[in-house]
Chains A and B, each alone.
Chain A
Amino acid sequence: NAGVTQTPKFRILKIGQSMTLQCTQDMNHNYMYWYRQDPGMGLKLIYYSVGAGITDKGEVPNGYNVSRSTTEDFPLRLELAAPSQTSVYFCASRSSDEQFFGPGTRLTVL
């Protein structure tokens, strides 16, 4: 039981490049979330999903896209990377009474 896994752990992008952050959970949770955390700051919700095929925007969705084709996977797509997207990205999955986080992806856009 691996919980929530994220890849890659680290990535450096050039301005304008695109990439997909992968997130997989093996707990059969319906709810999944993407957060970003800037240095010294709290977690800001980017997108979330309540099940396969259903997603919704969080507080800071601009510049990102998501899809949820299976219960297990919830990838986050960055299009046209900007320096403002430099952050640590956390994926989480939730049942009714527990929510677990992945180890995070540290992204730098130069």
Chain B
Amino acid sequence: QKEVEQNSGPLSVPEGAIASLNCTYSDRGSQSFFWYRQYSGKSPELIMFIYSNGDKEDGRFTAQLNKASQYVSLLIRDSQPSDSATYLCAVINSGGYQKVTFGTGTKLQVIP
């Protein structure tokens, strides 16, 4: 079982719709999570950090965390063509030196 799993996509949504991106993780002790956006040929850009169960909102982005079910999701409201990118989920692992492990990412395409 991979430590962090994401559907590779592509996920296609029309402009203005809500895009929903999901991520599951295997380390039950993990407490903290990141969502990143990565454009082709660029480095990942931090979108959100979340560590509490429930929702966290920042502009058009909402992260949702459910530790009991071991998943974290990212909703993008009013999707724009400029949101077309790969979205990466990352988990700060429990114990030891707290390495940060990434999923393989979900490619999002927003259709004008």
Contact = CB atoms under 8 A, between A and B. Distances in A.
Is chain B a partner of chain A in the same complex?
A: yes
Interface of A: 31, 33, 35, 41-45, 48, 50, 54, 56, 58-59, 90, 92, 94, 97-104
A94 B100 contact: yes
Interface string B77-112: 000000000001010000011111111110000000
Contacts of A97: 32, 49, 51
Contact of B104 (A42, A90, A101, A102): A42
Contacts of B105: 42
Interface residues of B, number: 21
Contacts, number: 51
Contact of A45 (B44, B101, B104): B101
B104 A41 contact: yes
Contacts of A31: 98, 100
B46 A100 contact: yes
Contacts of B43: 90, 101-104
Contacts of B32: 97
Closest 7 A/B residue pairs (Cβ): A42-B104, A101-B43, A43-B102, A50-B97, A97-B49, A56-B97, A101-B44
Nearest to A102: B43
A97 B33 CA distance: 9
Given A98-B49, A101-B44, A54 B97 contact: yes
B34 interface: yes
Contact of B46 (A33, A58, A98): A98
A93 B85 CA distance: 22
A33 B100 CA distance: 8
Nearest to A90: B43
